[in-house]
């Protein structure tokens, strides 16, 4: 029997054949969450002009020397300066009523906030005069043009993930669009003649196509763009036709089912029947993980000659969830430039980034059997700590594990067919290969499930300190 391939090696093999998508120019309204593909410098200064940081009165500071509540300086008010208006030059010996963010008149060098005058805040007719009750230093409540950044100053570097704040920053420095790595377009294909539309009556041997919906949702939750879903029967010819059609408008095709050793598994039949000039090229392997051992990847050549990557997942729903989180999500991260590949130096191979771990580990609230030579991924939910605590687990207020305990979301554990219980799962507990069993109180690492965020939300933690290793 061939040795099982470690998951990290398989993920590296899959994403090592991928490159970030070609950058496109996108308006800022469509750039949120994408990876910047260029260095950006300021086209305009920020602030673009000297302005007031307070509602109040623009003055010359020198004219308020000695002003106080007992001895105010009274000045005529020459003009109103609302935000967005271009003010007239401030005449000597006068004040201008000014709003927050409004351009400071030429000649003014200071703003006295309205609370330090004899005027009431809020909308009122322009007063003829204002009594100024303080003598602030020159420059008080004034934002100087370009004090944040000046024209030509660097703002964001290529490889930056464009958060809401980053997009706002780009707008502030004069950019209306930027070059970004686009969202990957993903086509989903479910295989199996036994599949029927959800809600349809089930004939003997048929099952609802839950995997198509699961994969479609995972694609969108991972920040990619779902372009199509399809189903294929159990013949090599029908499957090849569906795959080529799916690839025409996609950057990645993801399938479920048909990768095992069954006599009617369509993907393995397609691989066996493939000729050298065939548009679909497939490779299969066994990965040291439970669930999700049978895996495959390859390419599809479209009618225009474009080679589209293909990732083939097992058909059982929990296997689909685990495989998507650990394999497809890193592939989407590579295509979208989220793993640093888009800005790696020429010739450099960026390290595969498999996402970020949850900030905590957890303890097992019940015992379960692990997967021996394979790494186990078991859907779990958070539960209160058991009472009493197991032997060897102290109730230490500094021990964060005390309040973070997990229970398999189904009593059958990591069974790959347990789709109905998946909504109860809040994470995947990761049990290292070589582990015979997990006992109550043992520490396990947690893997975040896909969520509405950037691609690559998963993580491959491998070390738990106390599950019982196989002898």
Q: Please give the model's pTM, rounded to 2 decimal places.
A: 0.81
| Phi and psi, residue 113, nearest 5° | -65, 150
Domains assigned to the chain: 7-24+182-343 (3.40.980.10), 25-46+147-181 (3.90.105.10), 51-143 (2.170.190.11), 362-469 (2.40.340.10)
The rounded distance, in Å, linking the Cα atoms of 127 and 462 is 71
Question: What is d(CA 276, CA 110) in angstroms, rounded to the nearest whole number?
Answer: 78
- d(CA 268, CA 251) in angstroms, rounded, equals 23
CA distance 273 to 267: 10
Residue 402's SS3 state is helix
Nearest to 103 by CA among 61, 144, 148: 144
What one-character DSSP code corresponds to residue 325?
A: I
Sign of the C-alpha dihedral, residues 435, 400, 366, 459?
negative
Cβ atoms of 347 and 338 closer than 8 Å: no
Rounded to 10 degrees, what is the CA torsion of 138, 143, 144, 150? 160
Q: Can you tell me the distance from the alpha carbon of 218 to that of 327, in angstroms, rounded to the nearest whole number? A: 12
**Which mean pLDDT values do the consecutive 10-residue runs of the chain (471 residues) have?**
87 95 97 96 96 97 96 97 96 98 97 97 94 97 96 96 96 97 96 64 64 91 94 81 96 89 65 75 94 95 96 92 94 91 54 46 90 92 82 62 75 51 80 93 82 40 40 36
User: Which of 181, 223, 224 has its CA nearest to residue 36?
Assistant: 181
Contacts of 394 (CB under 8 A, 6+ apart): none
Q: For 80-110, give the DSSP string.
A: EE-TT--PPPPPTT-EEEE-TTPBPPTT--E
Model pLDDT, residue 46: 96
Is 371 exposed, middle or buried, given 0-12, 13-18 or 19+ CB atoms closer than 10 A?
buried
Q: Which residues are CB-contacts of 211 (< 8 A; sequence separation ≥ 6)?
A: 190, 256, 257, 315, 317, 320
The 8-class DSSP code of residue 149 comes to: B
Tell me the C-alpha distance between 95 and 105, whole Å.
10
pLDDT reported for residue 313: 95
């Amino acid at each position: 029997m061939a040795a099982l391939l470690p998951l990290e090696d398989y993920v590296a093999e899959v994403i090592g054949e991928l490159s970030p998508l070609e950058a496109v120019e996108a308006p800022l309204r469509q750039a949120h969450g994408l990876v910047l593909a260029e260095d950006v410098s300021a086209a305009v200064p920020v602030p673009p002009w000297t302005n007031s940081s307070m509602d109040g009165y623009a003055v010359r500071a020198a004219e308020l020397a000695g002003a106080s509540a007992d001895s105010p300086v009274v000045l005529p008010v020459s003009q109103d300066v609302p935000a967005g208006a271009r003010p007239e030059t401030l005449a000597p010996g006068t004040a201008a009523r000014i709003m927050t963010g409004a351009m400071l008149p030429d000649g003014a060098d200071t703003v006295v906030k309205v609370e330090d005058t004899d005027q009431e805040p809020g909308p009122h007719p322009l007063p003829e005069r204002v009594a100024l009750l303080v003598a602030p230093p020159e420059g008080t409540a004034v934002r100087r043009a370009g004090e944040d950044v000046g024209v030509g100053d660097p703002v964001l570097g290529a490889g930056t993930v464009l958060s809401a704040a980053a997009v706002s920053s780009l707008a502030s420095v004069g950019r209306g669009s930027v070059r970004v790595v686009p969202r990957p377009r993903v086509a989903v294909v479910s295989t199996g003649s036994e599949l029927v539309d959800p809600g349809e009556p089930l004939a003997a041997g048929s099952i609802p196509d839950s995997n198509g919906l699961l994969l479609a949702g995972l694609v969108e939750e991972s920040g990619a763009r779902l372009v199509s879903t399809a189903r294929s029967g159990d013949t090599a010819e029908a499957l090849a036709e569906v795959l080529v059609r799916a690839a025409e408008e996609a950057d990645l095709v993801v399938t479920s089912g048909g990768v095992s050793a069954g006599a009617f598994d369509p993907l393995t039949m397609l691989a066996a029947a493939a000729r050298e000039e065939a548009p679909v090229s497939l490779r299969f392997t066994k990965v040291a993980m439970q669930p999700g051992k049978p895996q495959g990847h390859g390419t599809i050549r479209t009618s225009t000659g474009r080679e589209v990557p293909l990732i083939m997942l097992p058909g059982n729903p929990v296997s689909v969830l685990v495989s998507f989180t650990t394999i497809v999500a890193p592939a989407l991260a590579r295509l979208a430039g989220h793993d640093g590949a888009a800005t790696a130096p020429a010739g450099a191979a960026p390290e595969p980034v498999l996402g970020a771990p949850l900030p905590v580990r957890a303890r097992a609230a019940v015992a379960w059997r692990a997967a021996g030579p394979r790494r186990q991924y078991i859907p779990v939910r958070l539960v209160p700590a058991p009472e009493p605590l197991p032997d060897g687990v102290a109730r230490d207020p500094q021990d964060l594990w005390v309040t973070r305990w997990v229970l398999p979301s189904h009593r059958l554990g990591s069974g790959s067919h347990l789709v109905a219980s998946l909504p109860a799962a809040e994470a995947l507990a990761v049990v290292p290969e070589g582990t015979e069993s997990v006992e109550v109180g043992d520490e396990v690492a947690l893997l975040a499930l896909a969520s509405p965020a950037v691609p690559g939300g998963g993580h491959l933690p491998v070390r738990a300190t106390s599950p019982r290793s196989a002898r």
